[in-house]
Structure 1
């Protein structure tokens, strides 16, 4: 299970220079909503549960690999600070593991996936259980189990564990060590990958002398905010016989992706480069699951029709994606491509309806808060307002926590993850918020 991915190549573009300026050695960073992957984290195989390649049941543990140990709360605080997060939440040292497990792909076929599990070193025997779903990435390394503890991707997971919780974070399908392309914004497969990681963690944790509580506190950022709502809904519906929903705290999600986020993108309300990347990712990713277009040239202008699909193959870095895409939607999209995003029809419309259903027709019974940042340049805040309205229509009035104009390396979107993590860790742990 030792997988090494290429480090991002140098770039002369202004966007890439801005992103590189805040990268630490071996770090990853969300920039324009996409991660610039660093080197993979590897360790010794700790507990293989199955040999060979026969298919296993959903959630069956295949292997567990110890990635790192931070022996004290002080060591954890230093790593969190390195990633720009508040180290004051740390109460324990932690150990991180990569779990590989069986799950299902978007068509219900068995497949493998990986994810991160971080445990407090000196916590109680029975541990609180937290699930964190990460934001958008394009390279396989842009996932929690492939990132060190002092990175933007893994810091929320480490923070929750250092506060005393067994914390899992799915890499998602096609990310980490999992096969195939990543089905971006496919909430059903994000949900199954998240639920099955919890099952794999429950099988592994007793080997460390711990056990998991039944209730799961669920959170996630950006793309992961929708994934968190999908998991919360599945837990409440009893899709697992053991785990139950304990709390729900999504952060800065594009919950109404087709009805709110895409119109904002086309209207120029997002960061321009983010809008280009999200438009391309939407068409490419959804076309892999549904017949959105027959040829790239139908939706992408030359020369990008020859290269854009390959940029989302899991082997290209965020920097390569930034360099390989234009700066404006007009340079990227044909008239037909823009029309598809403006007025989705057919299979694309059907897929977006499933993605956009995360807040509709259900009411969380567990304590729930929606977190957002004023002036978010990537996930427009109308998404959060719409989610609250939909949940209210189902009978629950969920509070919205406005974090204000928070900033992380020039991005309020990224800043919301940093600021919300501290608040959510304390809320989940029952500590008083600042």
Structure 2
């Protein structure tokens, strides 16, 4: 949890810029129609959010993230696009799309026009404006600026129900996470095309905290072509992800995580909307919190407002019966947790670079080892890097320059005609 009143970063990450509105296309289609589904990824609107020189990008990063790899200026856009929610129903979502500019004139024409693509997936966010498309100071905006300043196009989806998107945020739902991310890539391709650029097919996927499991979910969808169409998997680099989510929730129920009650309340209220974890708030929350907790997690309350209204400890916020359900999940809860315990249980056709910090008190380092073990059991090439003795939020700032180097290395190997690198 950060001290800023606009963020909860229990599994977190975020960033932002300015704003000039340029409406591209209105959203007008019958909800639930086949046409809506066919047009997932269609752009609804574009606003230019920022136009920065390389020096200005370096200035934004200075003191937060190593800026030594910044090479180009960038133009950032706030983009609304069509996607689907946790029930598969049509909705709109938003994202930040960032494109590099001022590429060298001596760069081969195809390399200047065809951009490598990064999908950056953010961490837990309770306030809908605390995302890359809205908040100029969030880590996610900084991450998008960094990747774009190295010559890449960046799609940084806000996910469903955050940013300017419709409805509530279906926190941690695999279906909505993959849809918003893949449809965000499709929309980013449209934005790039309108500026005379093309996105390469292979996508470099990375994300922090909640975005760690999301990275593996999106990567698998791209590899198995469940995403359909143009894009394919090019690289995977998750950071500080809760890959054993049932163990994470049990730790929160036992107050083994800082501000466990706040985190678990977000999880419980979101998953109740999707899956029906309790019949009434009083079944899960102690009085007097049962009368207000759901309203606080509506996306319009800041972290500061939530913290001021709720106790930090799970034992003070939840009923003991509900905490026991979290510790020993069964039924629908067990069934929905299972896919999130197995986001690394497959064999990527690219090496996986896992980053974590041994000093992380929010998501224990054991989660990274859990992911690595699942990859090992599937014969997948991977490397687990400890970025040092840093807390949760600082771990992503330490990891980002390493991720850029990893992506650069893979691209250089590809250009040299080498095969996939074996990672111990």
Q: TM-score, normalised by structure 2?
A: 0.89
Q: 1:395, CA displacement in angstroms?
A: 1.6
Unaligned runs of 5+ in 2: 104-111, 413-424
User: Which secondary structure state, in structure 1, belongs to the residue aligned with residue 185 of structure 2?
Assistant: helix
The alignment yields a C-alpha RMSD, in angstroms, of 2.0
Distance, in Å, in 1 between the alignment partners of 2:401 and 2:41 is 30
Which residue is equivalent to 2:394? 415
Structure 1 position 201 matched with structure 2 position 188:
yes
Q: 1:135, CA displacement in angstroms?
A: 0.8
* Structure 1 counterpart of 2:40, from 58, 68, 71: 58
Map 1:90-109 to 2 at 5 A.
90-109=70-89
Q: 1:255, CA displacement in angstroms?
A: 1.0
Map 1:164-179 to 2 at 5 A.
164-179=151-166
Aligned residues of 2:51 and 2:76 also touching (Cα < 8 A): yes
Distance, in Å, in 1 between the alignment partners of 2:62 and 2:22 is 28
Q: 1:30, CA displacement in angstroms?
A: 5.1
Aligned residues of 1:29 and 1:152 also touching (Cα < 8 A): no
User: Which secondary structure state, in structure 1, belongs to the residue aligned with residue 343 of structure 2?
Assistant: coil
Across the two proteins, how many residue pairs are aligned to each other? 396
Distance, in Å, in 2 between the alignment partners of 1:167 and 1:139 is 22
Aligned residues of 2:12 and 2:208 also touching (Cα < 8 A): no
* Structure 2 counterpart of 1:45, from 12, 15, 21: 21
Aligned residues of 1:264 and 1:380 also touching (Cα < 8 A): no
Change (3 A) 1:79 1:131: same
Q: 1:397, CA displacement in angstroms?
A: 4.0
User: Which secondary structure state, in structure 2, belongs to the residue aligned with residue 284 of structure 1?
Assistant: helix
Which residue is equivalent to 1:5? none
Unaligned runs of 5+ in 1: 1-14, 21-27, 407-411
Map 1:278-427 to 2 at 5 A.
278-360=263-345, 362-406=346-390, 412-427=391-406
Query: Residue deviations 1:176-216, cap 9 Å, x none?
Result: 11111101111221111000000111112111121100010
User: Which secondary structure state, in structure 1, belongs to the residue aligned with residue 230 of structure 2?
Assistant: coil
Distance, in Å, in 1 between the alignment partners of 2:174 and 2:211 is 9
Change (3 A) 1:105 1:32: closer
Distance, in Å, in 1 between the alignment partners of 2:386 and 2:135 is 29
Q: 1:47, CA displacement in angstroms?
A: 5.3
Query: Residue deviations 1:355-402, cap 9 Å, x none?
Result: 222112x11111211110003111111111111111111121421011
Q: 1:147, CA displacement in angstroms?
A: 1.6
Structure 1 position 113 matched with structure 2 position 100:
no
Which residue is equivalent to 1:128? 116
Q: 1:175, CA displacement in angstroms?
A: 0.2
Aligned residues of 2:43 and 2:80 also touching (Cα < 8 A): yes
Q: 1:267, CA displacement in angstroms?
A: 3.9
Which residue is equivalent to 1:248? 236
Which residue is equivalent to 1:232? 219
Query: Residue deviations 1:26-47, cap 9 Å, x none?
Result: xx65544467x99x85622335
Aligned residues of 1:69 and 1:95 also touching (Cα < 8 A): yes
